[in-house]
């Protein structure tokens, strides 16, 4: 997939980076990324992925734009309150980069439809607003063998990881990478959402842009991604730390005795050769 | 022996595990991860990860908003 003269001009500042270059930009053009949640994190991530020339973006969100979203969800405008997030996002992103293809999925991702929604992606970015959605995205990414860039925010704190367990599941434990559940092992009780606890507006901009950065690095093959590590950001002090995240051998998703090792139900019971 | 947890020094006994420490400070394991010397301790290893003198531990509160 070669680059046109116009594309070479549009992406000139990428192409001059030795870690991206023409081959890296072509990899971005061939790639499909899925974004779960087009809100505080998904909006800036989608803007940077579209601007970067990622060929196709799958936008997954069932929500409509609310006035209280606009303090941080900078893809949307006051005039678009009440409209669907995926629809307004696609319109704004097409204006930014008409060569990117957008799939709008105005639906709520859950365990029943996660694999179907994500199956076409090469990488998944999760900026959703609940742990149950995050768990469904993580399980699907592990099963499908997809890398997952998961960002999260609350109040003044951000957390980011690139979870690549799906890419290493056939390897011995010493060479495996962790999944999201190796970090958050079970759904935390009574954890406050952004709606209940608040979030400072620029914080999802920092974390969402970093999500796009990690996705672009992974797709272009540049540098060292956060796979096997976590980035913790403290906006009140403007400090951040990067920690090592080992895989948990007892992880319910990617551990040795997990359900993920059992053939997937869909393949066993509902495929064309179902009994 | 001495360990630090979230920057505060605490006295720990030989044989204390990460699990013992979490219980002694009253933290709910479902809401936090524990970092020991720059590395997250897998949840299944809390009881078998013994503290050593000089360990630096940080409790990481999960956030899940988007």
**A93: distance to nearest CA of chain B, Å?**
19
Query: pLDDT band for position A190 (50/70/90)?
Result: confident
Is A112 domain-assigned? yes
- Chain A residues in contact with B34 by the CB 8 A cut-off are none
The mean pLDDT of A215-237, rounded to a whole number, is 98
What is the pLDDT, as a whole number, of residue A274?
34
Query: Do B60 and A250 count as a contact with CB atoms less than 8 A apart?
Result: no
| Neighbour count for residue A17 (Cβ, 10 Å) | 12
CATH code, A80: 3.40.50.720
* pLDDT band, very low/low/confident/very high, at A245 (cuts 50, 70, 90): very high
**What confidence score (pLDDT) does residue A193 get?**
66
Report how far residue A275's alpha carbon sits from residue A38's, in angstroms, rounded to the nearest whole number. Answer: 40
pLDDT of residue A194: 67
Identify whether the C-beta of residue B42 lies closer than 8 Å to the C-beta of residue A179. no
* Chain A residue with the nearest C-alpha to that of B38: A243
Indicate whether A169 pLDDT > 90: yes
Q: Assess whether pLDDT exceeds 90 at residue B25.
A: no
**Which is more confidently placed, B31 or A150?**
A150
- Token readout for A112 is 């029943």
Contacts of B47 in chain A (CB under 8 A): none
Is the pLDDT assigned to residue A268 strictly greater than 60?
no
How many structural domains are present in chain A?
Answer: 1
C-alpha A52, offset from chain centre: 15
What is the model's pTM? 0.93
Residue B30: pLDDT band with limits 50, 70, 90? confident
Asked whether residue A166 is domain-assigned, the answer is yes
User: What is the domain extent for residue A213?
Assistant: 31-244
- In this predicted structure, the answer to whether residue A22 has a pLDDT above a threshold of 80 is yes
Summarised one tens digit per residue, pLDDT across range B41-59 is 999 999 999 999 999 999 9
* A269 within some domain: no
- Residue B62 contacts A, CB cutoff 8 Å: yes
What local confidence, expressed as pLDDT, does residue A191 receive? 67
In Å, what is the CA distance from A268 to each residue of A210, A262, B45?
39, 10, 34
Count CB-CB contacts under 10 A for residue A67. 9
Contact A93, A44 (CB under 8 A): no
Place of tokens 């053939």: A263
Largest Cα separation within chain B, whole Å, is 42
Inter-chain residue contact B42 with A199, CB threshold 8 Å? no
Q: Kindly indicate the confidence band of residue A257, based on its pLDDT and cuts at 50, 70 and 90.
A: low
pLDDT (tens digit, 9 = 90+) per residue, A115-159?
999 999 999 999 999 999 999 999 999 999 999 999 999 999 999
pLDDT confidence tier of residue A214, bands split at 50, 70 and 90: very high
Q: Judge whether A216 lies within some domain.
A: yes
A107 or A272, greater pLDDT: A107
pLDDT at residue B28 in the model: 83
Band of residue A258 on the pLDDT scale cut at 50, 70, 90: low
- Shortest distance between the Cα of A24 and any Cα of chain B, in A, equals 29
**B34, B38, B64: best to mutate for the A interface, most A CBs within 10 A:** B64
Question: Count H helices, E strands: chain B?
Answer: 1, 5
- pLDDT given for residue A237 in this prediction: 97
pLDDT band at A266 (very low <50, low <70, confident <90, very high): very low
Nearest CA in chain A to B37: A243
Instruction: Answer yes or no: is A265 within a domain.
Output: no
Which residue(s) pair with A80 in the sheet? none
Torsion B4-B5-B8-B14 (CA) sign:
negative
Mutate to test the interface with B, among A165, A228, A232, A243 (most CBs of B within 10 A): A243
- pLDDT value at position A270? 33
Which of B18, B19, B34, B65 is the mutation pick for testing A, counting most A CBs within 10 A? B65
Question: How far is Cα of residue B26 from the mean position of the Cα atoms in its chain?
Answer: 11
CA A97, CA A92: separation in Å to the nearest integer?
Answer: 9
Structural domain contains residue A24: no
Interface residue B43 vs chain A (CB under 8 A): yes
Residue A266 lies in a domain: no
Residue of A152, A99, A145, A94 lying closest to A124 (CA atoms): A145
To the nearest whole Å, the CA of A253 is away from the closest chain B CA by 13
In a domain, A89, yes or no: yes
- How would DSSP label each residue in A149-180? EEEEEEBTEEEEEEE-HHHHTTS-GGG----G
Tokens 């078998």 identify what position? B48
Exposed, middle or buried: residue A115 (CB in 10 Å: 0-12, 13-18, 19+)? middle
CB spacing of A246 vs B61 below 8 angstroms: no
CB contact B6 to A (< 8 Å): no
Reference A37, options A214, A264, A194; nearest CA is A194
Helix H or strand E segment including A138: helix A131-144
């Amino acid at each position: 997939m070669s680059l046109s003269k116009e594309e070479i001009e549009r992406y000139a500042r990428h192409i001059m980076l030795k870690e991206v270059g023409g081959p890296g930009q072509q990899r971005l053009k061939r790639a499909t990324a899925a974004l779960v949640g087009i809100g505080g994190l998904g909006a800036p991530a989608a803007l940077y992925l579209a601007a970067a020339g990622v060929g196709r973006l799958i936008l997954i969100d069932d929500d409509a734009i609310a006035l209280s979203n606009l303090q941080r969800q900078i893809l949307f405008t006051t005039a678009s309150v009440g409209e669907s997030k995926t629809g307004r996002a696609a319109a704004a992103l097409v204006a930014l980069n008409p060569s990117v293809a957008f799939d709008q999925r105005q639906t709520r991702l859950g365990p029943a439809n996660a694999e179907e929604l994500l199956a076409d992606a090469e990488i998944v970015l999760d900026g959703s607003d609940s742990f149950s959605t995050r768990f469904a995205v993580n399980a699907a990414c592990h099963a499908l063998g997809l890398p997952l860039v998961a960002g999260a925010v609350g109040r003044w704190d951000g957390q980011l990881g690139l979870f690549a367990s799906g890419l290493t599941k056939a390897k011995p434990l010493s060479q495996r990478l962790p999944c999201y559940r190796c970090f958050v092992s079970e759904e935390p009780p009574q954890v406050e959402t952004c709606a209940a606890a608040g979030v400072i507006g620029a914080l999802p901009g920092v974390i969402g842009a970093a999500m796009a950065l990690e996705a672009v690095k992974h797709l272009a093959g540049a540098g060292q991604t956060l796979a096997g590590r976590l980035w913790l950001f403290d906006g009140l002090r403007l400090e951040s730390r990067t920690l090592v995240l080992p895989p948990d051998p007892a992880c319910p998703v990617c551990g040795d005795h997990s359900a993920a090792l059992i053939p997937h139900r869909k393949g066993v019971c509902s495929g064309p050769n179902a009994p | 022996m001495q360990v630090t947890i979230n920057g505060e020094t605490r006295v720990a006994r030989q044989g204390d595990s990460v699990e013992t420490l979490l219980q002694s400070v009253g933290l709910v394991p479902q809401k936090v991860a524990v970092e020991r010397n720059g590395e997250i301790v897998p949840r299944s290893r809390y009881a078998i990860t013994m503290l050593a003198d000089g360990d630096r531990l940080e409790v990481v509160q999960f956030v899940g908003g988007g």
